[in-house]
Structure 1
Amino acid sequence: MTHDLTVWLDGVLDRIEQQTQVVATGGRWHYSGSDTIGAWTLYDEHWSIATMNVYDTKAYNYSERMPAARNPDYINPDAIGQHAAQNDPTRVLHRIAIDRRIIAAHPVGEHGYCTNCWADSQVRSVDAPCPTLRLLAAAHDTEPGYRTEWGPQ
Protein backbone atom coordinates (compact mmCIF):
# COMPACT_ATOMS: atom_id res chain seq x y z
CA MET A 1 0.00 0.00 0.00
CA THR A 2 2.88 2.39 0.75
CA HIS A 3 4.31 1.87 -2.73
CA ASP A 4 0.97 2.89 -4.28
CA LEU A 5 0.77 5.95 -2.04
CA THR A 6 4.32 7.12 -2.79
CA VAL A 7 3.92 6.52 -6.54
CA TRP A 8 0.66 8.50 -6.49
CA LEU A 9 2.17 11.27 -4.36
CA ASP A 10 5.24 11.51 -6.63
CA GLY A 11 2.88 11.86 -9.60
CA VAL A 12 0.91 14.63 -7.88
CA LEU A 13 4.13 16.47 -7.01
CA ASP A 14 5.44 16.01 -10.57
CA ARG A 15 2.26 17.55 -12.01
CA ILE A 16 2.29 20.49 -9.61
CA GLU A 17 6.01 21.02 -10.26
CA GLN A 18 5.52 21.02 -14.05
CA GLN A 19 2.63 23.50 -13.83
CA THR A 20 4.60 25.70 -11.48
CA GLN A 21 7.75 25.76 -13.59
CA VAL A 22 5.76 27.23 -16.48
CA VAL A 23 5.12 30.39 -14.44
CA ALA A 24 8.38 30.42 -12.45
CA THR A 25 10.26 32.75 -14.74
CA GLY A 26 10.93 35.85 -12.69
CA GLY A 27 11.72 34.92 -9.10
CA ARG A 28 9.54 35.74 -6.12
CA TRP A 29 6.18 37.37 -6.65
CA HIS A 30 5.23 40.62 -4.96
CA TYR A 31 1.94 42.40 -4.55
CA SER A 32 1.15 46.10 -4.65
CA GLY A 33 -2.27 47.42 -3.66
CA SER A 34 -4.12 49.99 -5.70
CA ASP A 35 -3.07 52.79 -3.37
CA THR A 36 0.58 52.35 -4.42
CA ILE A 37 0.50 52.49 -8.23
CA GLY A 38 -3.20 52.89 -9.03
CA ALA A 39 -3.92 49.22 -9.77
CA TRP A 40 -3.83 45.92 -7.94
CA THR A 41 -0.65 44.45 -9.34
CA LEU A 42 1.08 41.11 -8.89
CA TYR A 43 4.62 41.28 -10.23
CA ASP A 44 7.97 39.51 -10.32
CA GLU A 45 11.44 40.97 -10.82
CA HIS A 46 10.58 41.64 -14.48
CA TRP A 47 7.24 43.30 -13.60
CA SER A 48 5.51 40.77 -15.78
CA ILE A 49 2.66 38.96 -14.07
CA ALA A 50 -0.72 40.67 -13.77
CA THR A 51 -2.74 43.75 -13.05
CA MET A 52 -6.09 42.90 -11.52
CA ASN A 53 -9.39 44.62 -12.11
CA VAL A 54 -11.97 43.39 -9.64
CA TYR A 55 -15.66 44.14 -10.02
CA ASP A 56 -18.47 43.34 -7.66
CA THR A 57 -20.51 41.39 -10.20
CA LYS A 58 -23.46 40.90 -7.83
CA ALA A 59 -23.94 44.64 -7.46
CA TYR A 60 -22.87 45.73 -10.96
CA ASN A 61 -25.16 45.10 -13.94
CA TYR A 62 -22.83 46.62 -16.58
CA SER A 63 -25.50 49.10 -17.76
CA GLU A 64 -24.89 51.58 -14.95
CA ARG A 65 -21.95 53.07 -13.16
CA MET A 66 -20.27 50.98 -10.48
CA PRO A 67 -22.16 51.56 -7.19
CA ALA A 68 -20.31 53.09 -4.29
CA ALA A 69 -21.65 50.49 -1.84
CA ARG A 70 -20.12 47.04 -2.13
CA ASN A 71 -21.93 43.77 -1.74
CA PRO A 72 -20.91 41.65 1.31
CA ASP A 73 -19.65 38.99 -1.13
CA TYR A 74 -17.27 41.48 -2.75
CA ILE A 75 -13.96 39.92 -3.68
CA ASN A 76 -11.15 41.63 -1.82
CA PRO A 77 -8.36 42.23 -4.37
CA ASP A 78 -5.83 42.89 -1.60
CA ALA A 79 -6.49 39.48 -0.07
CA ILE A 80 -6.22 37.81 -3.50
CA GLY A 81 -2.98 39.61 -4.35
CA GLN A 82 -1.39 38.90 -1.00
CA HIS A 83 -2.41 35.24 -1.18
CA ALA A 84 -0.98 34.86 -4.69
CA ALA A 85 2.29 36.52 -3.67
CA GLN A 86 2.58 34.23 -0.63
CA ASN A 87 2.12 31.20 -2.91
CA ASP A 88 4.50 32.20 -5.66
CA PRO A 89 6.24 29.53 -7.79
CA THR A 90 9.52 29.84 -5.90
CA ARG A 91 7.81 28.89 -2.65
CA VAL A 92 5.75 26.13 -4.26
CA LEU A 93 8.86 24.55 -5.82
CA HIS A 94 10.68 24.79 -2.48
CA ARG A 95 7.79 23.03 -0.73
CA ILE A 96 7.76 20.28 -3.37
CA ALA A 97 11.49 19.70 -2.83
CA ILE A 98 10.94 19.47 0.94
CA ASP A 99 8.00 17.07 0.47
CA ARG A 100 10.19 14.83 -1.70
CA ARG A 101 12.84 14.77 1.04
CA ILE A 102 10.21 13.85 3.62
CA ILE A 103 9.01 10.97 1.42
CA ALA A 104 12.60 9.74 0.99
CA ALA A 105 13.13 9.90 4.77
CA HIS A 106 10.26 7.47 5.38
CA PRO A 107 11.10 4.27 3.47
CA VAL A 108 9.48 0.94 4.22
CA GLY A 109 11.84 -1.61 5.73
CA GLU A 110 11.92 -5.36 5.17
CA HIS A 111 9.34 -6.01 7.92
CA GLY A 112 6.75 -3.63 6.44
CA TYR A 113 7.38 -0.75 8.84
CA CYS A 114 8.53 2.78 8.14
CA THR A 115 12.19 2.59 9.12
CA ASN A 116 12.26 6.22 10.26
CA CYS A 117 9.16 6.07 12.45
CA TRP A 118 10.07 2.62 13.77
CA ALA A 119 13.45 3.94 14.89
CA ASP A 120 11.66 6.38 17.19
CA SER A 121 11.38 4.59 20.53
CA GLN A 122 7.91 6.05 21.13
CA VAL A 123 6.49 4.92 17.79
CA ARG A 124 7.26 1.20 17.54
CA SER A 125 5.72 -1.09 14.96
CA VAL A 126 4.28 1.61 12.73
CA ASP A 127 2.69 -0.13 9.78
CA ALA A 128 3.37 1.47 6.45
CA PRO A 129 2.31 3.90 5.24
CA CYS A 130 3.44 5.77 8.31
CA PRO A 131 1.59 8.77 9.80
CA THR A 132 4.00 11.18 8.09
CA LEU A 133 3.29 9.86 4.59
CA ARG A 134 -0.44 9.72 5.35
CA LEU A 135 -0.39 13.40 6.34
CA LEU A 136 1.54 14.38 3.20
CA ALA A 137 -1.01 12.51 1.08
CA ALA A 138 -3.94 14.07 2.96
CA ALA A 139 -2.69 17.52 1.95
CA HIS A 140 -3.56 16.49 -1.63
CA ASP A 141 -6.76 14.55 -0.92
CA THR A 142 -8.71 16.37 -3.62
CA GLU A 143 -6.35 15.13 -6.34
CA PRO A 144 -7.55 12.36 -8.67
CA GLY A 145 -6.51 8.92 -7.50
CA TYR A 146 -6.42 9.68 -3.78
CA ARG A 147 -7.66 6.76 -1.67
CA THR A 148 -9.45 7.38 1.62
CA GLU A 149 -7.53 4.45 3.14
CA TRP A 150 -4.39 6.61 2.90
CA GLY A 151 -5.86 9.24 5.20
CA PRO A 152 -4.50 9.94 8.67
CA GLN A 153 -5.49 7.37 11.27
Structure 2
Amino acid sequence: MDDLVQWLRAQLDDDERTARMAAEELGDGWYYDDGFVLARREDDMVATGSQDFLEREHGQHIARHDPSRVLREIDAKRQLLDLHSVGGGHECSTRDARGDIDHCTWVMGSEACTTLRLLALPYTDRPGYRDEWRP
Protein backbone atom coordinates (compact mmCIF):
# COMPACT_ATOMS: atom_id res chain seq x y z
CA MET A 1 0.00 0.00 0.00
CA ASP A 2 2.81 2.39 0.87
CA ASP A 3 4.26 1.74 -2.60
CA LEU A 4 1.05 2.94 -4.24
CA VAL A 5 0.91 6.11 -2.14
CA GLN A 6 4.58 6.87 -2.78
CA TRP A 7 4.21 6.22 -6.52
CA LEU A 8 1.05 8.30 -6.74
CA ARG A 9 2.69 11.23 -4.92
CA ALA A 10 5.54 11.08 -7.47
CA GLN A 11 3.00 11.27 -10.34
CA LEU A 12 1.35 14.29 -8.74
CA ASP A 13 4.74 15.95 -8.25
CA ASP A 14 5.49 15.39 -11.94
CA ASP A 15 2.09 16.80 -12.98
CA GLU A 16 2.63 19.82 -10.74
CA ARG A 17 6.08 20.49 -12.20
CA THR A 18 4.69 20.36 -15.74
CA ALA A 19 1.69 22.57 -14.91
CA ARG A 20 3.88 25.16 -13.19
CA MET A 21 6.26 25.27 -16.16
CA ALA A 22 3.31 25.79 -18.52
CA ALA A 23 1.90 28.51 -16.28
CA GLU A 24 5.27 30.28 -16.08
CA GLU A 25 5.70 30.25 -19.83
CA LEU A 26 2.14 30.73 -21.02
CA GLY A 27 0.18 31.88 -18.00
CA ASP A 28 -3.16 30.39 -17.05
CA GLY A 29 -6.73 31.38 -17.71
CA TRP A 30 -6.67 29.77 -21.13
CA TYR A 31 -9.61 30.30 -23.50
CA TYR A 32 -10.74 29.17 -26.93
CA ASP A 33 -11.04 31.88 -29.56
CA ASP A 34 -12.19 30.91 -33.07
CA GLY A 35 -9.68 28.19 -33.86
CA PHE A 36 -6.99 28.78 -31.24
CA VAL A 37 -6.42 28.27 -27.53
CA LEU A 38 -4.89 31.40 -26.05
CA ALA A 39 -3.53 32.34 -22.63
CA ARG A 40 -4.98 35.53 -21.18
CA ARG A 41 -1.53 36.95 -20.52
CA GLU A 42 -0.74 38.83 -23.73
CA ASP A 43 -2.92 36.42 -25.73
CA ASP A 44 -0.05 33.93 -26.10
CA MET A 45 -1.07 31.04 -28.34
CA VAL A 46 -1.26 27.76 -26.45
CA ALA A 47 -2.64 25.43 -29.11
CA THR A 48 -3.73 25.28 -32.69
CA GLY A 49 -4.91 22.39 -34.83
CA SER A 50 -3.97 21.12 -38.24
CA GLN A 51 -3.89 23.82 -40.88
CA ASP A 52 -3.80 26.42 -38.09
CA PHE A 53 -7.36 25.72 -36.96
CA LEU A 54 -8.60 23.90 -33.87
CA GLU A 55 -12.14 22.54 -33.72
CA ARG A 56 -14.28 24.22 -31.07
CA GLU A 57 -14.79 21.07 -28.95
CA HIS A 58 -11.07 20.31 -28.92
CA GLY A 59 -10.13 23.90 -28.17
CA GLN A 60 -12.62 24.18 -25.32
CA HIS A 61 -11.33 20.94 -23.84
CA ILE A 62 -7.72 22.14 -23.91
CA ALA A 63 -8.65 25.54 -22.49
CA ARG A 64 -10.58 23.89 -19.65
CA HIS A 65 -7.45 22.03 -18.58
CA ASP A 66 -5.23 25.06 -18.11
CA PRO A 67 -2.43 24.95 -15.49
CA SER A 68 -4.54 26.52 -12.73
CA ARG A 69 -7.16 23.77 -13.01
CA VAL A 70 -4.50 21.07 -13.07
CA LEU A 71 -2.95 22.53 -9.92
CA ARG A 72 -6.35 22.59 -8.18
CA GLU A 73 -6.91 18.95 -9.10
CA ILE A 74 -3.45 18.01 -7.81
CA ASP A 75 -4.21 19.78 -4.54
CA ALA A 76 -7.49 17.88 -4.17
CA LYS A 77 -5.79 14.54 -4.90
CA ARG A 78 -3.05 15.29 -2.36
CA GLN A 79 -5.68 16.06 0.27
CA LEU A 80 -7.33 12.70 -0.45
CA LEU A 81 -3.94 10.99 -0.09
CA ASP A 82 -3.38 12.81 3.20
CA LEU A 83 -6.75 11.59 4.48
CA HIS A 84 -5.57 8.06 3.76
CA SER A 85 -2.24 8.55 5.51
CA VAL A 86 -3.68 8.94 8.99
CA GLY A 87 -1.77 6.75 11.44
CA GLY A 88 -3.58 3.71 12.76
CA GLY A 89 -6.05 3.42 9.93
CA HIS A 90 -8.83 5.37 8.35
CA GLU A 91 -12.48 4.95 7.60
CA CYS A 92 -14.09 7.12 4.98
CA SER A 93 -17.71 7.00 3.98
CA THR A 94 -19.87 8.41 1.25
CA ARG A 95 -23.57 8.35 0.50
CA ASP A 96 -24.89 6.68 -2.61
CA ALA A 97 -27.79 7.97 -4.72
CA ARG A 98 -30.33 6.50 -2.26
CA GLY A 99 -28.64 8.12 0.71
CA ASP A 100 -27.21 4.87 2.06
CA ILE A 101 -23.74 5.11 3.56
CA ASP A 102 -20.99 3.27 1.69
CA HIS A 103 -17.86 2.70 3.76
CA CYS A 104 -14.30 2.42 2.60
CA THR A 105 -12.43 0.92 5.52
CA TRP A 106 -8.69 0.93 5.24
CA VAL A 107 -6.00 0.04 7.75
CA MET A 108 -2.59 1.59 7.23
CA GLY A 109 -0.12 -0.89 5.83
CA SER A 110 -2.78 -3.14 4.36
CA GLU A 111 -3.97 -3.45 0.79
CA ALA A 112 -4.87 -0.12 -0.82
CA CYS A 113 -8.49 0.94 -0.61
CA THR A 114 -10.63 1.62 -3.66
CA THR A 115 -10.25 5.40 -3.28
CA LEU A 116 -6.47 5.21 -3.66
CA ARG A 117 -6.74 2.73 -6.51
CA LEU A 118 -9.13 5.07 -8.32
CA LEU A 119 -6.80 8.03 -7.79
CA ALA A 120 -4.03 6.03 -9.49
CA LEU A 121 -6.20 4.87 -12.40
CA PRO A 122 -5.52 7.87 -14.70
CA TYR A 123 -1.80 7.06 -14.48
CA THR A 124 -1.92 3.45 -15.71
CA ASP A 125 0.15 4.40 -18.75
CA ARG A 126 3.06 5.66 -16.65
CA PRO A 127 6.13 3.63 -15.71
CA GLY A 128 5.83 1.88 -12.38
CA TYR A 129 2.07 1.38 -12.38
CA ARG A 130 1.21 -2.11 -11.15
CA ASP A 131 -1.77 -4.00 -12.47
CA GLU A 132 -2.49 -5.19 -8.92
CA TRP A 133 -3.46 -1.58 -8.07
CA ARG A 134 -6.27 -1.59 -10.63
CA PRO A 135 -9.67 -1.29 -8.88
- TM-score, normalised to structure 1, is 0.69
Matches of 1:115 and 1:98 in 2, distance apart? 18
Q: Per the alignment, in what secondary structure is the counterpart of residue 103 of structure 2?
A: coil
- TM-score, normalised to structure 2, is 0.77
Question: Structure 1's 124 and 77: CA in aligned 2 closer, same or farther, altered over 3 A?
Answer: closer
Structure 2 unpaired stretches of 5+: 94-100
Which structure dedicates a bigger proportion of its chain to helix? 2
* Percent of matched pairs sharing the same residue: 33
Matches of 2:118 and 2:50 in 1, distance apart? 36
May I ask how many residue pairs the two structures share in their alignment?
121
Q: Per the alignment, in what secondary structure is the counterpart of residue 119 of structure 2?
A: helix
Q: Shift in Å at residue 106 of structure 1?
A: 1.2
Q: Per the alignment, in what secondary structure is the counterpart of residue 12 of structure 2?
A: helix
Q: Which residue of the partner structure matches residue 149 of structure 1?
A: 132
Q: Which residue of the partner structure matches residue 97 of structure 2?
A: none
Question: Structure 1's 79 and 107: CA in aligned 2 closer, same or farther, altered over 3 A?
Answer: same
Q: Per the alignment, in what secondary structure is the counterpart of residue 93 of structure 1?
A: helix
Aligned-partner residue type, residue 95 of structure 1: E
Q: What does 1:1-153 correspond to in 2, within 5 Å? A: 2-25=1-24, 26-33=27-34, 40-46=35-41, 47-50=43-46, 52-55=48-51, 77-107=55-85, 109-110=87-88, 114-117=89-92, 123=103, 126=106, 127-152=110-135
Q: Shift in Å at residue 52 of structure 1?
A: 2.3
Aligned-partner residue type, residue 148 of structure 1: D
Matches of 1:16 and 1:141 in 2, distance apart? 14
CA RMSD of aligned residues (A): 2.4
Q: Which residue of the partner structure matches residue 68 of structure 1?
A: none
Aligned-partner residue type, residue 128 of structure 1: E
Which structure dedicates a bigger proportion of its chain to strand? 2
Q: Is the 8 A contact 1:30 1:44 kept in 2?
A: yes
